[in-house]
Structure formats: C-alpha cells, structure tokens
C-alpha cells in the first residue's frame, strides 16, 4: 500500500478560479489527461479561438450549465446544458455564452505532459490574452517568462 488516498472529491464552484478559468486538473492533481473548467469572461467568451494542430490534442467540451455557442471551422453549434462536443485537433474552435464548461483533452497515442502553472499563472494568462488579441510577440514573451517558473514533468 502506498499510503496515499486513491480518490479526491471537489466541487467546481469551490475550486479557486484564475480569472474565468477553473484549474480542475491542478486542483485534483490529475497528471494523465487535461481537464479544466471555464466560465463566461469578457464579451461572453468561454473558450478563446484556437486549434490544437501543433499539439495534436483532441478536446471534449461538456456544458455543465447554461448555454454555449461554439464555432467550429466556421459552423455554429448551439450547446445547452448537458451537451458534449468533440473537436478534433485541426479544427479551429471558440465558444461564447453564459455557461460553465469542462474542457478535457489529450493527444491520441501520446503520454500527457501536465504543467502545473502555480506561480507562473499570471504569465500564462498574459500569454493567452495576448494570443487571443493576435499580439503574438507579446504572447511568446509571456510564455518564455512563464516557462522559467514552471516545473518540468518527469518522463
């Protein structure tokens, strides 16, 4: 027996938020797949426009409450409470609305590499904001600053 508890219980509404992001994976110590929560942000943003072509990561979005409007490769998809939406890596996606969403993801056939942002979170948030505003040089600079403060995941 390893002496560690083999389960953890958390309530989404009690996990400390980072802006509109709810760091589920970090809070629970999950290392094998990505999962985070999102609530409505400025302008109704739930999920910033992006694709996962570089990482190959597939994503599954679960609308916990409210209604989200997803745009996937230019197609509009209404997703009320209880909806599950799978999006492949190459697809450009974003979501808006008044909802709470869980986003789960991983790359087929690859070991998930978790990053616990910890104190580097403000830099990550800065990079995501700059990226969504198409200020790519600023986004890259923020990522470089953040990477100096992030622990690496053992192989």
CA 40 to chain centre: 13
Residues of the chain with pLDDT > 90, as a percent, come to 55
Residues written for the chain: 155
Give the helix/strand (H/E) hosting 97: strand 93-106
What integer pLDDT is reported at residue 133 of this predicted model? 72
pLDDT grade for 126, boundaries at 50, 70 and 90: confident
pLDDT of residue 132: 65
Can you give the pLDDT at residue 150? Answer: 59
Q: Is the pTM of this model over 0.85?
A: no
| Contact yes or no for 64/100 (Cβ under 8 A) | yes
- Mean residue pLDDT of the chain comes to 86
The Cα 144–Cα 146 span in angstroms is 5
Q: Which pairs count as long-range contacts for 72-78, CB under 8 Å and 24+ apart, including other chains?
A: none
In the predicted model, is pLDDT for residue 65 greater than 80? yes
């Amino acid at each position: 027996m390893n002496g560690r508890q083999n389960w953890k219980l958390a309530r989404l509404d009690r996990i400390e938020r980072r802006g509109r992001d709810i760091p589920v994976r970090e809070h629970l110590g999950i290392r094998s797949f990505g999962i985070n929560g999102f609530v409505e942000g400025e302008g109704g943003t739930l999920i910033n426009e992006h694709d996962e072509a570089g990482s190959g990561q597939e994503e599954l979005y679960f609308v916990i409450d409210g209604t989200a409007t997803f745009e996937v490769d230019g197609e509009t998809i209404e997703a009320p409470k209880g909806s599950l939406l799978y999006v492949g890596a190459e697809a450009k996606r974003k979501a808006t609305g008044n909802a709470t969403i869980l986003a789960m993801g991983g790359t087929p056939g690859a070991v998930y590499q978790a990053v616990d942002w910890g104190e580097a979170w403000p830099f990550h948030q800065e990079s995501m904001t700059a990226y969504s505003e198409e200020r790519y040089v600023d986004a890259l600079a923020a990522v470089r600053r953040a990477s100096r403060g992030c622990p690496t995941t053992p192989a």
